[in-house]
Structure 1
Amino acid sequence: MSVLHLLPIDRTWNGQTQTITPVLLRDWDETILVDCGYPDQIQQIAEAAGQYDIQLDSLTKLIITHHDVDHIGSMAALKRLVPRIEIIAHELDVPYVEGTKRSLRVEQAEASLDVLPEAEKPGAEAFIRFLQSVEPAAVDRAVSHGERLPWCGGIEIVHTPGHMPGHISLYLPAAKTLIAGDAVVMEGGQLAIANPQYTLDMEAAIRSIQLLLEYDIEQIVCYHGGRFQGDAKQALRQLIHACMKAEVNDDETKQIR
């Protein structure tokens, strides 16, 4: 027996509300949370899990898709609440999750300060301080591409770099389901690249989407947008085509300039 539950939770920032979607996987022995929201969202996660009669103290594993603030923000607090929980991340992401290397997102935000108008710098500096406030935590298990975890009918690690170098998605072969993290998101009911301005390597991100076509995927769960409804494979092909077309247009624009 293996079940998958979506845990949509909201956060309001600067007057705008954003919904993120951690995922709960459960079988007879394991209760696994995939990503854990922004800082101070433990209570929201608990309430969302409670709708399925699942208590946070039953969690056994936390799988991190990558070290962005909205994916690891409540990680250290969750570890304090449930000390036995095992934290799992891709081998390239481990030093960032553990805080032995500076967050790539912080470095990106700091690099943008020099090109911002003076009026926008205070807001950017506040955002950097917010990113820096994330507490690290020790990783119990580092994983790599193609590794298959034995829980919940099998969880295959799919290394999907681009958004970040250590980004992973999770493929559940028994359910033909992909938990995409930020490899793809849903916008207006369609699959899209997650925040292109925050994608550290767009070419790698497109290659990662192409890699997903090798898997027998019938359902995609996006951290931003939730469950994709429709032909998943066809949607991935359409997204690849749109990305390739956009790259060609960008190259032509640069040549004109």
Structure 2
Amino acid sequence: MEILELPIEFEFNGQKNLIYPSLIITNNDLTLVDTGYANFLPLIENEIKKSGYEIKNLKNIIITHYDDEHIGSLYDFKTEFPWINIIASEIESKYISGMLKAERLVQAEALLDKLPIEEVEFGKWFIRQLKNLKHISVDEKVQDGSKILDGKCTIVATPGHTSGHISLYFPSIKTVITGDAAVNENDKLVIANPHFCLNIGKAEESLDKIKNLDVKTFYCYHGGKLSL
């Protein structure tokens, strides 16, 4: 088994940005962790090809949580490659499928009237982004301790950033894919966007939880790979 990070470079507000979806390779079957913003399918497909693999071997997509930069292209992937098995937590699947209104949208709408006037337009844009995300059903719903990918991956519930956030633990290679439970900031693991955490106390507990696992390498969606 091997894990690769897929550096996806894009421009946002005139600045260069990077995110790092992860690609898990098991017996030539591919599993993608998170899908970037809307319309990122071609960017991710290109990185998969550059890594020497073919998109036709993509068997699973794991969604760590419902945020627009993590699920933006999920609908496109499932439409283009309908055989893909979509995996997410029981909690997040309710938002991904549209069964419940997404926590992030509820939060954004509640904060809009409290924003400084210079941030109101961005707040409205962000709400539109969330409302424009297309819902899709989740094929495989997991919870804390679930084993997936032939038992090679253990689901770790890491709530805080969102209530149903999950991280992925691979004991045999001492590796965690963190989602937004942690970001790599100057070679340190820290909480992602603490001001937007739905529960900062739980986010701190989740960060401690993955730090205390037997781990040598963390794959962070924001900030990239961190090896201890």
- Bin of the TM-score, shorter chain as denominator length: over 0.9
1:27 alignment partner in structure 2: 26
Which whole-Å CA distance do the structure 2 matches of 1:5 and 1:122 have between them?
Answer: 37
Q: CA deviation at 1:118?
A: 3.4
Which whole-Å CA distance do the structure 2 matches of 1:214 and 1:124 have between them?
Answer: 36
Which whole-Å CA distance do the structure 1 matches of 2:52 and 2:204 have between them?
Answer: 38
8 Å CA contact 2:190, 2:207 repeated in 1: no
8 Å CA contact 2:28, 2:57 repeated in 1: no
2:182 alignment partner in structure 1: 184
What is the TM-score when the length of structure 1 is the normalising length? 0.85
Counterpart amino acid of residue 24 in structure 2: L
2:86 alignment partner in structure 1: 87
* Structure 1 residue runs without a partner (length 5+): 231-257
Counterpart amino acid of residue 165 in structure 2: H
Counterpart amino acid of residue 94 in structure 2: P
8 Å CA contact 2:191, 2:207 repeated in 1: no
1:134 paired with 2:133, answer yes
Q: CA RMSD in A?
A: 1.3
Which whole-Å CA distance do the structure 2 matches of 1:50 and 1:218 have between them?
Answer: 27
8 Å CA contact 1:113, 1:121 repeated in 2: yes
Q: CA deviation at 1:123?
A: 2.3
Comparing 2-11 and 207-216, the one that deviates more: 207-216
Which whole-Å CA distance do the structure 1 matches of 2:5 and 2:28 have between them?
Answer: 19
> For 1:113-128, what aligned pairs fall within 5 Å after superposition?
113-128=112-127
- DSSP 3-state at the match of 1:10: strand
1:3 paired with 2:7, answer no
2:156 alignment partner in structure 1: 158
> For 1:45-56, what aligned pairs fall within 5 Å after superposition?
45-56=44-55
8 Å CA contact 2:216, 2:227 repeated in 1: no
Larger radius of gyration: 1
Which whole-Å CA distance do the structure 2 matches of 1:229 and 1:215 have between them?
Answer: 14
Which whole-Å CA distance do the structure 2 matches of 1:125 and 1:82 have between them?
Answer: 32
1:224 alignment partner in structure 2: 222
1:14 paired with 2:39, answer no
Which whole-Å CA distance do the structure 2 matches of 1:50 and 1:201 have between them?
Answer: 38
The structure with more strand, counted as a fraction of residues: 2
What is the TM-score when the length of structure 2 is the normalising length? 0.96
